[in-house]
């Protein structure tokens, strides 16, 4: 059996701790991995002036898949832009998949099995912002293209089929952002016609935010533009245990980068307090991407068992630290 080449991007804050924990879980599986590690984030910028060096992009491209932790992006440093955006855009990781499922824990609402499919390359995230009027007016450009809308809609319908989810909800704000999200809505509903077996509906983003709290069990796939997807996926994660459990995959045609939805949580950094399960569940998505579904299901089952047994960190009411919570998963997997 040849080894899977995995690139690790620990990043800033709690990133190195949760990536280290998830790597140990992967190493306990009956699979063979070859690891490379590359730099990303604010710490790397402080050292070399570039938060996403070319070597890092190369390392991601040369790997079968990448596991990323998180980075810190201080809002008040002029001309600094999050490397996460550049990574997604330069590698054309166009589909951001963010699943949310109920867990066997009082913190979670029941009967939720939804997937946010977030467009990952355009919208207000293209970074075309400028100040006018002596700094008293700020203008930002929002870009929506037919091409990006079409491929994200297709990804959404394919995911609905693959995961047997009951419908696709196209989320937009076409009553106000008429040209931009209007185009997204129109194209997604066109693509829906290629999938007559999958029910489709469209919904305004504010209504969707409200419905997610009122009756989240109604949703299957939510497909939406970049910024709405960012916000709705954090919201949805809180229905099923919070950011400590929310996993994601940034999928492109050439490669994919898996990461917890959460950020670098600077206040927790270095304290062995962060929940590693979001990153561990991201490795299950990574294994699915590599075609190792059986091992992915084993990790997901071990996570559910650890939650049932309260072998978890304090955000889920447990007493374990980051590394002990990962050890619990390794033990449940029968590893060492
Ligand atoms: P955050 O996600 O880092 O943390 C918000 C809160 O969520 C934390 O205070 C903590 O209570 C909880 N939390 C997050 N991760 C957790 C974990 N693993 N276990 C337990 N609880 C957890 O968001 P923030 O505080 O708004 O942002 C901090 C920094 O992270 C900012 O610089 C921001 O730009 C960056 N950020 C990075 C990413 C990324 O790298 N993908 C994502 C979001 C935010
Ligand atoms: C996420 C994060 C990123 C985003 C930030 C860190 C650029 O919040 O992955 O959800 O806005 O996409
Ligand atoms: Mn986010």
CATH of residue 6's domain is 3.40.718.10
CA distance linking residue 5 with residue 334, whole number of Å = 24
From 116, 192, 124, 114, select the one nearest 153 (Cα to Cα). 192
Residue 243 CB less than 6 A away from ligand 1? yes
From 191, 190, 231, 187, select the one nearest 208 (Cα to Cα). 231
Which amino acids are annotated catalytic?
125, 173, 206, 230, 234
From 308, 289, 288, 290, select the one nearest 298 (Cα to Cα). 288
Cβ–Cβ contacts within 10 Å for residue 336, how many? 8
Residue 73 CB less than 6 A away from ligand 1? yes
Q: Look up the domain containing 76 and give its range.
A: 1-94+242-336
Domain count of the chain? 2
Kindly state whether residues 146 and 87 are assigned to the same domain: no
First to last CA, the chain: 21
Ligand 2 binding pocket mutation candidate from 15, 40, 82 (most atoms within 8 A of CB): 82
**Residues 28 and 336 sit within 8 Å (Cβ to Cβ):** yes
Closest C-alpha residue for ligand 2 atom 9: 261
Closest C-alpha residue for ligand 1 atom 22: 244
Note the Cα 60 to chain centre separation in Å.
17
**Is there a domain that residue 100 lies in?**
no
Closest C-alpha residue for ligand 1 atom 14: 262
Helix pair 277-289, 15-27: axis angle to 10 deg: 50
**Is there a domain that residue 101 lies in?**
no
The overall average pLDDT reported for the chain is 97
pLDDT at residue 308 is higher than 60? yes
Task: Tell me what the mean pLDDT of segment 72-82 comes to.
Answer: 91
**Is there a domain that residue 271 lies in?**
yes
Which band of pLDDT confidence, cut at 50, 70 and 90, is reported for residue 335?
low
Task: Tell me what the mean pLDDT of segment 43-53 comes to.
Answer: 96
**Is there a domain that residue 250 lies in?**
yes
User: Tens digits of per-residue pLDDT, 91-100?
Assistant: 999 999 999 9
**Residues 176 and 246 sit within 8 Å (Cβ to Cβ):** no
pLDDT at residue 79 is higher than 90? no
Question: Where do we find the tokens 């959460």?
Answer: 262
Ligand 2 binding pocket mutation candidate from 11, 94, 118, 230 (most atoms within 8 A of CB): 230
Kindly state whether residues 267 and 220 are assigned to the same domain: no
Give the domain-ending residue among 239, 254, 289.
Answer: 239
Closest C-alpha residue for ligand 2 atom 3: 84
pLDDT at position 252:
98
Closest C-alpha residue for ligand 2 atom 10: 230
Pick the atom of ligand 2 nearest to 233's CA.
Answer: 10
Task: Tell me what the mean pLDDT of segment 276-302 comes to.
Answer: 98
Give the domain-ending residue among 209, 239, 269.
Answer: 239
Closest C-alpha residue for ligand 2 atom 8: 230
Question: Where do we find the tokens 């997610």?
Answer: 212
**Is there a domain that residue 267 lies in?**
yes
Task: Tell me what the mean pLDDT of segment 270-287 comes to.
Answer: 98
Residue 84 CB less than 6 A away from ligand 1? yes
Kindly state whether residues 214 and 138 are assigned to the same domain: yes
**Is there a domain that residue 304 lies in?**
yes
Residue 315 CB less than 6 A away from ligand 1? yes
pLDDT at position 270:
97
**Residues 58 and 49 sit within 8 Å (Cβ to Cβ):** no
**Is there a domain that residue 3 lies in?**
yes
Kindly state whether residues 202 and 298 are assigned to the same domain: no
Residue 71 CB less than 6 A away from ligand 1? yes
Could you give the percent of the chain with pLDDT greater than 90? Answer: 98
Beta-ladder partners of 221: 115, 168
Kindly state whether residues 119 and 230 are assigned to the same domain: yes
Kindly state whether residues 121 and 156 are assigned to the same domain: yes
CA dist list (Å): 331 to 29, 91, 311: 11, 36, 11
Task: Tell me what the mean pLDDT of segment 157-170 comes to.
Answer: 97
**Is there a domain that residue 79 lies in?**
yes
Task: Tell me what the mean pLDDT of segment 148-174 comes to.
Answer: 98
Which band of pLDDT confidence, cut at 50, 70 and 90, is reported for residue 221?
very high
Question: Where do we find the tokens 């730099």?
Answer: 39
Kindly state whether residues 5 and 71 are assigned to the same domain: yes
Ligand 1 binding pocket mutation candidate from 77, 265, 303, 323 (most atoms within 8 A of CB): 265
Phi, psi values for residue 286, rounded to 5°: -60, -45
Give the domain-ending residue among 239, 258, 289.
Answer: 239
Residue 95 CB less than 6 A away from ligand 1? no
Kindly state whether residues 312 and 248 are assigned to the same domain: yes
Kindly state whether residues 128 and 218 are assigned to the same domain: yes
Model confidence, pTM = 0.97
Span from the CA of 58 to the centroid of ligand 2 (angstroms)? 22
CA distance linking residue 119 with residue 226, whole number of Å = 5
Kindly state whether residues 174 and 254 are assigned to the same domain: no
Kindly state whether residues 141 and 218 are assigned to the same domain: yes
89 burial class (0-12, 13-18, 19+ CB within 10 angstroms)? middle
Residue 70 CB less than 6 A away from ligand 1? yes
Kindly state whether residues 228 and 121 are assigned to the same domain: yes
Q: Which two tokens stand for residue 112?
A: 């939720």
pLDDT at position 1:
64
Residues whose beta carbon lies within 6 Å of some atom of ligand 2: 73, 82, 84-85, 230, 261, 263
**Residues 315 and 265 sit within 8 Å (Cβ to Cβ):** no
From 130, 293, 69, 266, select the one nearest 301 (Cα to Cα). 293
């Amino acid at each position: 059996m040849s080894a899977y080449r995995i690139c690790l991007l620990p990043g800033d804050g709690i990133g190195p701790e949760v990536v280290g924990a998830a790597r140990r879980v992967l190493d306990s599986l009956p699979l063979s991995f070859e690891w490379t590690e590359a730099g990303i984030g604010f710490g790397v910028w402080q050292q070399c002036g570039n938060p996403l060096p070319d070597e890092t992009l190369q390392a991601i491209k040369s790997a079968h898949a990448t596991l990323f932790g998180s980075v810190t992006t201080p809002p008040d440093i002029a001309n600094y832009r999050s490397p996460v955006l550049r990574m997604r855009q330069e590698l054309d990781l166009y589909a951001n998949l963010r699943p949310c499922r109920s867990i066997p824990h009082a913190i979670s609402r029941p009967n939720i099995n939804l997937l946010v499919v977030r467009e990952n390359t355009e919208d207000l995230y293209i970074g075309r912002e400028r100040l006018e009027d002596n700094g008293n007016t700020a203008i930002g450009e929002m870009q929506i293209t037919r091409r990006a809308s079409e491929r994200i809609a297709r990804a959404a319908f394919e995911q609905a089929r693959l995961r047997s989810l009951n419908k696709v909800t196209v989320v937009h704000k076409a009553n106000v952002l008429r040209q931009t999200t209007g185009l997204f809505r129109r194209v997604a509903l066109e693509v829906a016609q290629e999938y007559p077996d999958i029910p489709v509906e469209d919904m305004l983003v504010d209504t969707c935010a409200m419905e997610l709290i009122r009756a989240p069990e109604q949703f299957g796939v939510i497909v939406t533009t970049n910024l709405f997807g960012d916000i709705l996926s954090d919201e949805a994660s809180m229905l099923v245990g919070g950011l400590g459990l929310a996993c994601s995959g940034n999928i492109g045609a050439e490669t994919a980068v898996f990461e917890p939805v959460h950020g670098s949580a600077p206040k927790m950094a270095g304290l062995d307090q962060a929940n590693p399960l979001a990153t561990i569940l991201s490795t299950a998505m990574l294994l699915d991407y590599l075609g190792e579904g059986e091992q992915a299901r084993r990790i997901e089952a071990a996570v559910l068992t650890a939650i049932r047994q309260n072998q978890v960190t304090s955000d889920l009411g447990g007493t374990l630290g980051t590394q002990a919570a990962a050890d619990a998963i390794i033990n449940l997997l029968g590893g060492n």
